[in-house]
Amino acid sequence: MLLCGVCMGVLYELLYLPRRLTGFNKVATVVLDLVFCAACAALFIWFSVQASYASLRAFSFACAALGLLSARICLHGALAKLCDLLYNKFKTKPPADTD
């Protein structure tokens, strides 16, 4: 289940890039949050079925949360720097003054 949490963290970071590039637009944020929640629920159920858990247990949620937190701590700083680099490289530059 720890791997499930890490997958959730990676998914969050993948969805962070479009959110940041849209300028944290409210509509885009809501849509991306819904996609994230649905994907996390599907991942959690899939990992639970693969591990043959007959019922939900507290340690399953704790391990998933720990994996999510560890991926968030490890990946978020690097991705934020990458977003800034890409944004600064590809943002539109004002036209040069040709007077």
Domain for residue 12, yes or no?
yes
Domain for residue 98, yes or no?
no
How high is the pLDDT of residue 39?
94
Q: Where residue 34 falls among pLDDT bands split at 50, 70, 90?
A: very high
Q: Which whole number is the average pLDDT over 54-73? A: 82
- Write down the pTM of the prediction: 0.70
Count of other CB atoms within 10 angstroms of residue 81: 10
Domain range for 11 is 2-90
Domain for residue 75, yes or no?
yes
Tokens of 20: 């940041």
Q: Is the pLDDT of residue 74 over 70?
A: yes
Q: Give the orientation angle of helix 26-50 with respect to helix 58-90, to 10 degrees.
A: 140
Domain for residue 99, yes or no?
no
Domain for residue 78, yes or no?
yes
Domain for residue 35, yes or no?
yes
Are residues 32 and 49 in contact, defined by beta-carbon separation less than 8 angstroms?
A: no
Domain for residue 30, yes or no?
yes
The total domain count for the chain is 1
Domain for residue 96, yes or no?
no
Q: Which whole number is the average pLDDT over 89-93? A: 67
Q: Is the pLDDT of residue 90 over 80?
A: no
Q: Which whole number is the average pLDDT over 38-65? A: 83
